[in-house]
Chains A and B, each alone.
Chain A
């Protein structure tokens, strides 16, 4: 098992370098001179541009610039916002707790609801329970999250006045955004849980377990869920990615000062140091989540370790 974990850990190193390369090249892929972005104004004199270029090190060969960028990542020095002049790492640090809170609450809701709905509709396949749960799921898959978020604000915050409309801090401000994000994510999960439970239920060893008179609940816990969980965990990992990008939109709608709102605001004003840092940070978290998913495979299914 340890060997499997170490091998899997080593595999993430090239991935992390590739991500840093993409994030680095972003700036140079923008049509025009990157120095103009840093100068912040289209009417700068050539002298000013030359100064910015030298100041930011943009006149060096691109490979040297990349090496410099990687070194700075390791030193956790990602530059300053072009507008607020605050170090980008500090901006991220200020906002991470708000995003983490939202992601955790929404993920908990999505996983609970998704698994319960999926298992129930698989066990009561083709009954009204199944139809109702799956109608809910396909509606959730088809619903734009920004619309659901606004409808929740309209009904629960504006109309009924149960929750504050926007902002950050406290459970009352977390409830609606987490509900919006969690409901949307649970829909995809419910559909997948249903199909993977159905697949396992049809396997011969489930029939064997039934024929030897094992109680249905025991079959479900011991034989069905353990095997159905491998595809479910994969999708939970993927869903976490969807959740991260859903958080971008949810935070914008609810005006929560999280990483997502930071990113969107930065894109709108072309604040590249911030854009690069947030993209890098979010992708690294996603790589970490996928790493945990892969390690949990090894724990759940011994066959995978020996591949």
Chain B
């Protein structure tokens, strides 16, 4: 984004001129982040969405699973702001409860990706040699399956369910994390403080945990945030295809899948859940872009 690039550029100058004001790199980053308009907009929208899905129990006008045959396919109106589906269930209430599932799905998928990718990257970068070659061949192999194809393979093997969809999305995203962590590990391995730690007699696991991993935190925050956005779309896509969340779970992708058959008679079943996914993912992307510009300008354009 033009404005955020300019903002971070000018702040770099400001920080350089007054180095004594903020000593920590994290504080610098926070200052840069606060000046990014996109990050603000993203954070505020995301905050509102998180609050409303957390408060789904209070905010929902209806019971999300309550079937009411008298009001099937009610168009949006005062009683049902986003209309109802074929069973007379309130779309807004289903979206509020389903949002919990969708957001949690994104976060859990990325957690799986981190759990798998970070150890792979650190071991590969730190130990080098045969370990590095084996792990990187595995990463390359996973990357030869384009886009969500690897996730589809995993779901095909494990069977369709929301949990398996999250595992599939997480595993197929892990190579990116492994690569970034490996690159950061390689860069920090040559630093003098690693040599100093070794001279003091620190064990390799201790060096990895205390001195190498902290360097990977900044890029991982950026990638992880943008990753939640990507994972939400992928998981919703799997649910939409009938390979993720199963009815009657109101996950947003599953809601869209339900609406698909009734596009002619009930457009509201498709429009609102889709908007919810888009706005949430957009907010996370804006926040992620801001974080990237603030924390790790080198990553710009790579995601």
Contact = CB atoms under 8 A, between A and B. Distances in A.
Interface of A: 15, 18-19, 22, 26, 29-31, 121, 125-127, 130-131, 134, 138-139, 141-147, 150-151, 153-154, 158, 191-192, 194-196, 199, 231, 238, 240-246, 248-249, 252-253, 263-264, 267-268, 270, 272, 275, 279, 282-283, 286-287, 290
Chain A, interface SS category: helix
B141 to A, nearest CB: 5
A30 B160 CA distance: 12
B133 to A, nearest CB: 12
Nearest to B284: A142
Contacts, number: 149
Contact of A146 (B155, B240, B243, B281): B240
A252 B281 CA distance: 23
Contact of B148 (A130, A238, A245): A245
B264 A249 contact: no
Contacts of B156: 26, 267, 270, 272, 275
A282 B146 CA distance: 8
Contacts of A238: 146
B278 A139 contact: yes
Contacts of A270: 156
Contacts of A231: 301
A141 B285 contact: yes
Contacts of B289: 138
Contact of B274 (A18, A144, A196): A144
Interface centre among B229, B241, B282, B285 (most CB of A within 10 A): B241
B146 A244 contact: yes
Given A134-B2, A153-B263, A142 B282 contact: yes
A249 B243 CA distance: 12
B256 A147 contact: yes
Interface string B251-272: 0010010011001100100110
Contacts of B243: 264, 267-268
A260 to B, nearest CB: 10
Interface centre among B2, B3, B278 (most CB of A within 10 A): B2
Given A144-B274, A147-B256, A154-B270, A138 B286 contact: yes
A150 B146 contact: no
Given A22-B153, A142-B278, 7 more contacts: A15-B141, A26-B153, A134-B2, A138-B286, A143-B278, A244-B147, A249-B241
Given A30-B157, A138-B1, A146-B256, A286 B144 contact: yes
